[in-house]
Amino acid sequence: MSLKPYAKRRQRVLDSLGDGVAVLATAPERLRNRDSHYPYRFDSYFWYLSGFPEPDAVIVLVGGAEAKAILFCREKNEERETWDGFRYGPDAAAAAFGFTEAHPIACLDEMLPRLIANRAALWHSLGHDREWDKRIAKALNAVRSQGRSGTRAPGEIRDLRGLLDQMRLSKDEHEVQLMRHAADIASAGHSRAMRACRPGMAEYELEAELSYEFRRRGADGHAYTPIVAGGANACILHYVDNNKLLAGQSLVLIDAGCEVAGYASDITRTFPVGGRFSAEQREVYEIVLAAQQAAIAAVHPGASFVDFHQAALRVLTQGLIDLKLLTGSVDGAVESEAYKPWYMHRTGHWLGLDVHDAGDYKTGTADDDWVKLAAGMTLTVEPGLYLRPGSAVPEHLHGLGVRIEDDVLVTSDGCLVYTNAPRTVAEIEEVMRHE
């Protein structure tokens, strides 16, 4: 693992601190039940600055003329390593991960008041974790108790996440490589699910195909709970039961991505269980695909984050008029939000260490205060139509749910779609052709 990206990010934070100090903890281990834990997953902000994979760890960044990056982590413990596996310990961790120094995590509460004393500002993740807020308050009070001896507590408390959110919006080369690798694996998983799909299968069988391909190719696992939604289940946006049988005449929507070294991919594909689109399914699918193509064309440096949503929205709305679900003009239907019964979500989100990644979408409260896209940003483009059974929907369209989602990197002159699962009708039917 290259240390350079993490060290560069820490240095950027140090350069922003002035005479301040920043404190950032990783995620704790979580009990699943009794003495069994959930699989451990580090805190994304902590990982972004460290690449250090163990729980019970904290970074302290001390700004100023003698800036330093300090890691607190678990000590070496042969007995615990016999049960739980390897631990770096402070000495090896400092060398392996490029920290100025490292100490046992047990020393943190004793050392923290000294580290924050006489500093202009203290940065930490305000409100993120109640217990950590209490620990920070305790350290501040310990410093304040020494006021009569001339020791000063930081005069300003600032939210570290705001600074890191801005940094995380633009991906460096290391991050882009990891995300493209995750996207390649996830794309292969979706292709595998298409090839494996047969009428009468259970949704969870397709989920198993995804899981196998993800792990077989070296992913850490799913980046989020996968959605495998057959038929009308696709009209439930966050359907995760994945336990129904797949009817041969229906579509199945799969929203699934994997994680590689903490970085997520996020892909949705919708395809016919029987391998061939019906005329009605093809018509709805082509509307959504055209909307996605229009949205992707609107992703480029200088464009607003809302521009590609508006581009998709106009195509979807025209499609709803063509399907006779709406009447009137596109402009009127968009302005009145008449499309919302069948398209109720935004067309994309930031993507990175979190599936819905860190970073603001607006810079203010005005309608046009959306963030401007810039090279290095990564996002999803995912229009859809969800035609739930009801009196407003003709029976031949009942239960048709289609979403198409790809991962997109903003480049210097446009954008790059770096997911590559089959997407057009012809590509999907070719992959699903059963010899």
Q: Catalytic site residues?
A: 35, 238, 255, 266, 345, 349, 356, 382, 386, 403, 405
Instruction: State the DSSP string of 72-136.
Output: EEPPP-HHHHHHH----HHHHHHHHHT-SEEEEGGGHHHHHHHHHTT-SEEEE-TTT-HHHHHHH
- CB neighbours (10 Å) of residue 303? 18
Answer for the pair 153, 143: CB distance below 8 angstroms, yes or no. Answer: yes
Residue 249 pairs in a beta bridge with none
Distances (CA, A) of 177 to 15, 231, 427: 26, 36, 26
Residues whose CB is less than 8 angstroms from the CB of residue 127 and which lie 6 or more positions away in sequence, other chains included: 133, 159
Answer for the pair 48, 164: CB distance below 8 angstroms, yes or no. Answer: yes
Q: Residue 283 and residue 387: Cα distance in Å, rounded?
A: 13
- CB neighbours (10 Å) of residue 57? 25
Answer for the pair 182, 220: CB distance below 8 angstroms, yes or no. Answer: no
Distances (CA, A) of 66 to 14, 160, 360: 10, 20, 32
Residues whose CB is less than 8 angstroms from the CB of residue 321 and which lie 6 or more positions away in sequence, other chains included: 327, 328, 330, 333
The helix/strand/coil state of 169 is helix
Q: What is the CA radius of gyration of the chain?
A: 25
Amino acid identity of residue 23, one-letter, is V
Q: Residue 15 and residue 79: Cα distance in Å, rounded?
A: 41
Which helix or strand (DSSP H or E) is residue 417 part of? strand 414-417
Answer for the pair 197, 432: CB distance below 8 angstroms, yes or no. Answer: yes
Q: Residue 178 and residue 260: Cα distance in Å, rounded?
A: 6
Torsion angles phi and psi, residue 171, rounded to 5 = -85, 140
Max CA distance (Å), the chain: 84
